[in-house]
Amino acid sequence: MNKTVRPHDEQSLSDLKVMRLAANKTQKQMAKVLGTSEATIINYENGVSDIKYKDYLKWSLACRFDLSAIEEQLQSLRELVIENNLHRYRKVNKLKHEK
């Protein structure tokens, strides 16, 4: 039985690896940025372990990845939460004053 070698499946490339390769960074360079080992970088890229959020941000910045869309969404959510909390605060105070 002959084995056929399939071309590299694009789906097997993790987002982290794609970002790193697009930025022309080595795994060793990323390890230095994150203050970790190359083995950890390999594990992140292969999905063996999950990357911490703060390390993901460092990774993204090191790869010059544009995070502005995420920042805009967070700002919108922040404003929504503040608005809702203020609304609840006003409602609670109104009830206190009515008693």
pLDDT, tens digit (0-9, with 9 covering 90-100), for 20-63: 999 999 999 999 999 999 999 999 999 999 999 999 999 999 99
Position 49, amino acid: S
pLDDT, tens digit (0-9, with 9 covering 90-100), for 79-95: 888 888 876 666 666 65
CA 14 vs. chain centroid, Å, equals 13
What's this model's pTM, rounded to 2 decimal places? 0.65
Tokens describing residue 75? 């700002």
Residue 5 has a pLDDT of: 36
